[in-house]
Amino acid sequence: MATSRDVGRRSLLKAAGGSLAALGVAGTAAACGGSGSGSGGTVTIRYAWWGAEDRAKRINKSIALFEKKHPKIKVKTDFQPYLDFWKKFNTQASGGNAPDVFQNAIGFLRKYDARNVLLDLTAQAKAGELRTEGFRAGLEKFGEVDGKLLGVPVGSNSMALVIDKKVHDKAGISPELGWTWDDYYKSLRRIRDTQKTAGNGGMHGIMYLYDPYLRQQGKAFFTEKGLGFTESDLVEWWEEGLAGVKSGLFADPKKVNQIKPKSPTADGLAAGEFTWDNFAVRYTAEGDSAYDLAPIPTSDGKKTGQYLGSLMLSGYKRTQHPKEVATFIDFMVHDPEVARIMGYDRGVPATTAQYEAYEPDKDKDPVLKKVNTSIAAYEDSLVEAKVLGPITPHPEGADVVEAAFLRINEEMALGKRSVKDAVKQFFTESKTALGG
């Protein structure tokens, strides 16, 4: 599941300690204008995604391979940083000029389906133009909404705890699958007391962590139509976060804010933080320590509440070339050579064919080799332990709710709002965004 912190891996490695936000500004092979048919019976489709320059290089290389294998289809490309991508996409969609194919995420499916933007790919799948078999861990269902196939996964990720391994080793802490939140808080106190640093960079504003925590309690962040938790639930969660800051278990929010976009763990402000597993390379790029992936704590020692998230590819409902769109998506999702080009840039490959085609332990880059091997091992451990469940449904407006959750939590953490005021504001904004 990618967010605004989804950045290109090799660009990070070249710019360790620099501004991550600057990496995704430049574009290559940008295209405006509509898709259409060219001379010689060729068809041109437009493909847009968010990310940084390294992702662009990998995708453009994949597209060159596609055009070689499908000479009658040409692909014009456009990429932006995450927030800029959605601003541009909204403008294009409103004007009836969205790209034929575009990168998408679970939080946007219902929103753009309700606006008649997304192509239902079911017909293309039935016609054999798009394969829906061969996916890992049930990911073939990831882009289905109300019986419609609105997106096809290209990679998977799951929430994890990224730790500063040197700090944890010195503190004598070795996280294992099945540890509880009580165990986790004990580890935070031990790190604070023995290593004189915060154990976590701040976790209570991360929607995709709060969701599995709620799922451990039999609830969820979202239902199909709204929020799946109460104001009292959130008061408890956010009060716990502020208490952790005051006791030194969590990093000082003001200091965390000052070092953005660098992460508090890479900066040395904290010994760990929760994020998507495929972001693990970021810490090696930014920091001077050794980093590893640890499992999500549980409430009962068994249920983690986790699921596999994913980037996906979607088609534009008004495209003039649905067959070519499906052919392109099928290639990007299933072709083994694409996996060897992309690596884990979009997460662990969603299909078995691509997963087996890219072997991270054979990567020529030693840093990527180590980090990607760790990511694969982490996701394999989740599958083997059978802790993964289906993803929580995301209603229309989920993207607005996620942004509000992050923003309001930050305002509260910086002392601009009380907990009760922050919770009230969040539920007010959520009600408006979700139309209820």
Q: Give the pLDDT of residue 71.
A: 97
H or E segment to which residue 351 belongs: none
User: In sequence order, what are the beta bridge partners of 351?
Assistant: 135
In CATH terms, are 9-154+316-384 and 159-307+391-434 the same topology? yes
Q: Give the pLDDT of residue 36.
A: 66
The DSSP string of 388-409 is --PPPP--TTHHHHHHHHHHHH
Report the C-alpha dihedral over residues 325, 122, 144, 73, rounded to 10 degrees: -10
Q: Return the exposure string of 3-23: e unless at least 16 CB atoms fall within 10 Å of the residue's CB, then b.
A: bbebbbbbbbbebbeeebbeb
Cα-to-chain-centroid distance, residue 331: 22
Nearest to 314 by CA among 63, 85, 120, 96: 120
pLDDT tens for 114-166 read 999 999 999 999 999 999 999 987 888 889 999 999 999 999 999 999 999 99
Q: Where are the domains of the chain?
A: 9-154+316-384, 159-307+391-434
CA separation for the pair 273, 263 (Å, rounded): 9
Nearest to 409 by CA among 116, 261, 272, 209: 209
H or E segment to which residue 434 belongs: helix 419-434
Amino acid present at 185: Y
Nearest to 278 by CA among 365, 347, 368, 381: 347
Q: Give the pLDDT of residue 38.
A: 59
Chosen CATH of 9-154+316-384 out of 3.40.605.10, 3.40.50.1860, 3.40.190.10, 1.10.3720.10: 3.40.190.10
Q: Give the pLDDT of residue 37.
A: 61
The answer to whether the beta carbons of residues 277 and 293 sit under 8 Å apart is: yes
Using alpha carbons only, give the angle 64, 67, 73 rounded to the nearest 5 degrees: 140
pTM score over 0.75: yes
| Superfamily grouping for domain 159-307+391-434 | Periplasmic binding protein-like II (3.40.190.10)
Which residues, given as ranges, of the chain have pLDDT below 70?
1-40, 436
Taking 3-state DSSP, the helix, strand and coil percentages for the chain, each rounded to the nearest 5, stand at: 50, 15, 35
For β-strands 73-80 and 43-50, DSSP reports them as parallel
pLDDT tens for 24-44 read 323 333 333 456 665 568 999
CA separation for the pair 153, 143 (Å, rounded): 7
